[in-house]
C-alpha cells in the first residue's frame, strides 16, 4: 500500500472486474489501500479476481450479478455498504462489445448492448449516488470509448458509449457542488474486445495484422487516480488513456460563431453555409483539438 494514496480505506465497487481493465483496476485500487467489491456476470471470474486481491494482502469480496438488472445493481451497492459501511467509489466498467458494418445492423444486438452498456451503467450509478449524496462524498467513473467519435465498423458499440458520455456530462451537472464527482474514462487495452475487432477487420480484408494494444494494467493507475481524493477537482471530464498517451477529450460544444438573423429562409441557410459554415465543418471520425469554453458564444449578425 502506498502512503497518502487518497484511497486508503475507501470502499469501491468495480463492475466487469472478472478480467481485463476491470480486474486490473480492482487489483490496483486494492494495492493503494481501497476495499473492493468485485462484480462480474461470470461468478467464477469475479471470485478469482477477489481471491487474487486477498492473496496479495488486499481486501476484496465478490458480488456476481448482471448490471442490466436493477435488482442486481441494487444488491451490488448494498453489498458494499453492508460489507464496508459505505460506498466511496463506483467504477462502471462492465460492457459488451460488437463490431459490424452499417449494412449488418442487428436490432436485437443493439438492444442487448443498450441493456448492458447504458442501462447497466445507469442502474449502478443510480443505486450508488444516493448513499454518496447522503455522506457528501463519492466518485463515479464511467467507461466510454474513442469509438463514439466515429470509428467505422463500430456504430452500435459506439452509440452506447456516446450515451455513456452524455450521461456523464449530465450527471456531473446535476451533482456539482454536492461532493460527488462524475467522470468517464476512455481506455485502450489488449483483451477480448480488441481481439474481436482484429478478427473482424482481418476477415473483411480491412487489416492485415492485429493491432498492438497496450495491456489492461496500463489503464489501472488512471482509474485509481480518478476515484481517489487526489482527483477532488476533476469533475465532468472524459479522460483518455491509450498506452503511453494521457489526455482529456473535448466536451461537446456549440461551435462559434453563432450566426443570427431575424428570420432564416432557405436561401439564407444556403448562403450561410457557402460563406461561413461549410469551411468550419468538424472532421469525420476521431479528431483532435482544444477544449470548449463555457464563455458566452459570440453572436454574429448575418445580413
- Residues 121-164 pLDDT 10s: 999 999 999 999 999 999 999 999 988 888 888 899 999 999 99
Q: Which domain holds residue 51?
A: 11-248
Per DSSP, the three-state class of 242 is strand
Please check the confidence at residue 165 and state whether its pLDDT lies above 50. yes
Does a structural domain hold residue 291?
yes
Q: Are 49 and 100 in contact (CB under 8 A)?
A: no
Q: Across residues 220-225, what is the average pLDDT?
A: 98
Model confidence band, residue 208 (pLDDT cutoffs 50, 70, 90): low
Reduced to 3 states, what is the DSSP secondary structure of residue 238? strand
Per the domain annotation, does 81 fall within a domain?
A: yes
Mean predicted lDDT score pLDDT of the chain:
92
CB atoms within 10 A of CB 186: 24
What would the mean pLDDT of 34-60 be, rounded to a whole number?
A: 98
Are 125 and 228 contained in the same domain? yes
Q: What is the pLDDT of residue 1?
A: 45
Same domain, 267 and 131: no
Let me know whether 207 and 278 are in one domain: no
Give the Cα separation of 139 and 128 in Å (integer): 9
pTM over 0.75: yes
- Statement: residue 202 has pLDDT above 70: no
Other C-beta atoms closer than 10 Å to the C-beta of 57 total 9
Q: Is the same domain home to 27 and 144?
A: yes
pLDDT attached to residue 121: 98
80 and 51 within one domain: yes
CA-CA distance, 158 to 242, in Å (whole number)?
A: 17
In the chain, what percentage of residues exceed pLDDT 70? 92
For cell 480505506, what's the residue? 9
For residue 119, the 8-state DSSP code is I
Q: How far is CA 129 from CA 9, 36, 37, 108, 139, in A?
A: 19, 17, 16, 30, 9
Whether residues 149 and 297 share a domain: the answer is no
Q: For the sheet with 59-62, list strands across it.
A: 59-62, 35-38, 11-14, 89-92, 138-143, 180-186, 238-242, 245-248
Q: Where are the alpha helices (DSSP H) in 114-247?
A: 120-135, 155-175, 192-203, 220-227
Domain tally, the chain: 2
Angle, alpha carbons 164-169-174 (nearest 5°) = 120
Question: What's the pLDDT band for 12 if we cut at 50, 70, 90?
Answer: very high
Whether 48 and 167 share a structural domain: yes
Exposed, middle or buried by CB within 10 Å (0-12, 13-18, 19+), for 169?
middle
Q: 173 is written with which cell numbers?
A: 451537472
Same domain, 196 and 73: yes
pLDDT for residue 211: 57
**pLDDT of the residue at 205:** 72
Residues 151 and 188 in one domain: yes
Shared-domain flag, residues 213 and 289: no
pLDDT of residue 29: 98
* 2 located within any domain: no
CATH at 60: 3.40.50.720
Whether residue 272 has pLDDT greater than 60 = yes
pLDDT > 80? residue 206: no
Do 200 and 153 contact (CB within 8 A), yes or no?
yes
Residues serving a catalytic function are: 157
Opening angle at CA 172, ends 167 and 178, nearest 5: 140
Amino acid at each position: 500500500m502506498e502512503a497518502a494514496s487518497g484511497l486508503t480505506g475507501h470502499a469501491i465497487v468495480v463492475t466487469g472486474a472478472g478480467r481485463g481493465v476491470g480486474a486490473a483496476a480492482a487489483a490496483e485500487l486494492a494495492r493503494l489501500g481501497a476495499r473492493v467489491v468485485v462484480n462480474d456476470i461470470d461468478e467464477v471470474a469475479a471470485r478469482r479476481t477477489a481471491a487474487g486481491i486477498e492473496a496479495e494482502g488486499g481486501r476484496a469480496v465478490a458480488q456476481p450479478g448482471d448490471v442490466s438488472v436493477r435488482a442486481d445493481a441494487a444488491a451490488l451497492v448494498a453489498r458494499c455498504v453492508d460489507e464496508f459501511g459505505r460506498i466511496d467509489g463506483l467504477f462502471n466498467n462492465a460492457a459488451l462489445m460488437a463490431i459490424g458494418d452499417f449494412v449488418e445492423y442487428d436490432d436485437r444486438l443493439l438492444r442487448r448492448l443498450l441493456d448492458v452498456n447504458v442501462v447497466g451503467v445507469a442502474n449502478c450509478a443510480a443505486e450508488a449516488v444516493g448513499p454518496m449524496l447522503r455522506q457528501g462524498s463519492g466518485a463515479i467513473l464511467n467507461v466510454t470509448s474513442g469509438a463514439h467519435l466515429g470509428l467505422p465498423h463500430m456504430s452500435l458499440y459506439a452509440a452506447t458509449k456516446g450515451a455513456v458520455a452524455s450521461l456523464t456530462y449530465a450527471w456531473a451537472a446535476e451533482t456539482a457542488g454536492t461532493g460527488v464527482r462524475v467522470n468517464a474514462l476512455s481506455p485502450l487495452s489488449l483483451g477480448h474486445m480488441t481481439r474481436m475487432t482484429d478478427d473482424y477487420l482481418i476477415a473483411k480484408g480491412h487489416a492485415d495484422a492485429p493491432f498492438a494494444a497496450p495491456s489492461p494494467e496500463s489503464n489501472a493507475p488512471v482509474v485509481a487516480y480518478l476515484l481517489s481524493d487526489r482527483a477532488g477537482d476533476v469533475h465532468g471530464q472524459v479522460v483518455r488513456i491509450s498506452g503511453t498517451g494521457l489526455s482529456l477529450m473535448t466536451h461537446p460544444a456549440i461551435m462559434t460563431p453563432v450566426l443570427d438573423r431575424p428570420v432564416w429562409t432557405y436561401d439564407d441557410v444556403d448562403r450561410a453555409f457557402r460563406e461561413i459554415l461549410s469551411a468550419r465543418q468538424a472532421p469525420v471520425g476521431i479528431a483532435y483539438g482544444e477544449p470548449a469554453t463555457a464563455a458566452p458564444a459570440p453572436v454574429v449578425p448575418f445580413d
